[in-house]
Every structure is written in structure tokens, then in C-alpha cells.
Amino acid sequence: MSRVVLFHSGLGLRPAVATWKAALEAAGHEVLTPDLYDGEVFDDLDAGVKKRDALGLEELSRRADAAVESLPGELVYAGFSLGAAAAQALALNRPGARGAILMHAALPLQAFGLTRWPASLPAQIHTSVDDPWVDMPVVDAIAASADKCVEVLTYAGAAHLFADHDYVDHHPEHARQMLDRVLAFLSRLD
């Protein structure tokens, strides 16, 4: 059983995040889903990006840190798009991280003052091969630096938030495959 912190995308803490939480909990994991957007949710990614920009990355980072500050360090950090950035930051900077699951996003290691992914930190990166929001050279650079502890899992097409069952990019087959892969990853950590 893993303790997972699952961060929402730029659309906010939508029902799809609760669906993922329930699926992970049904597999025996404990899941926390922090709300970085004060309860606001969006159907349009541009509106969600405006909310992100209004809060600012420093404030979002502060909120992500606050969401886990009272928790033990032995966590798996996961997130969708915007939430993947929070998950990546915490996994790389907070002592004791057991793993990272980055869905629909990954930031350059240089953003965290690193040149290599830590060999002791298993991770998965999930993305559509032509996702316009994901910089594939960044994903490839992370994988190349990771000494085989980072799996890059790709899905056909250009859908961004394909795991959100209420969003226009939803792709049921890819969402199911990603969930299966996430569950397999978590079972390997146990």
C-alpha cells in the first residue's frame, strides 16, 4: 500500500480526480487530493490557465508544499499536467519520496537545479506522443538521465488531459491503460 498525493490539472479538482482517487483507493492505496484552486473548477483549459496565472507559480508551489507539510516523507507524488509539476517538485525536493507519477507534463531538471534524475526515485511519465502542452525533448532528457528508473509511457495522438472523463480530450482506452500502468507501478513500490 502506498500513500499517494494526487494533484489536479489546471482545470481544478474536477470529478475525474475523484474517480482516479477512488480507483487507487480500491487497489488499497491511501490517496490525498489537495485543492490548489480554492474550489474553482473549469471546463476550458484556457480559463484554468488564467486561474494558474492569477495565483502565480510561487503561490501554487506554496500551496502544494502546505498540502503535504504535516505528512510523513514516504509518499508517492502524482499529478495531472499542472499537478504533475507540483508532484515533480515535491518528489525531487522533499526527502523520503517513494516515487513520482507525472501525467501530461514534466519540467526540465534544470528547473530544480539538477542535471540527472535521482537513481533512488522511481517514476513514470505519461503523455500523448503529440501533446502540444508537453515538451518531448524534456521528457526524453529526463529519461536519458535517469539510469532506467524513469519509465516514459506514450499514447497515440495529441490529446492532453485524456484521463479526465468530462473533458473534450478524454480517451477512454488511453485513460484505462494509464490507470492500469499507474496501478502496476504502485504495486512494484510495495
Q: What is the CATH number of the domain that holds 126?
A: 3.40.50.1820
Q: How confident is the model at residue 190 (pLDDT cuts 50, 70, 90)?
A: confident
| Domain count of the fold of the chain | 1
Surface-to-core class of residue 110, CB atoms within 10 Å of its CB (0-12 exposed, 13-18 middle, 19+ buried): exposed
* Closest to 163 measured CA to CA, from 53, 11, 2: 11
Confidence (pLDDT) at 111: 93
- The H-or-E segment that residue 100 falls in is strand 99-103
**C-alpha cell, 186:** 504502485
What is the distance between the alpha carbons of residues 20 and 159, in angstroms, rounded to a whole number?
18
Asked if residue 53 lies in contact with residue 76, where contact means CB atoms within 8 angstroms, the answer is: no
* Segment 120-127 mean pLDDT: 97
pLDDT digits (tens, 9 = 90+) for 54-63: 999 999 999 9
Residues of the domain holding 80: 3-189
Instruction: Report if pTM > 0.95.
Output: yes
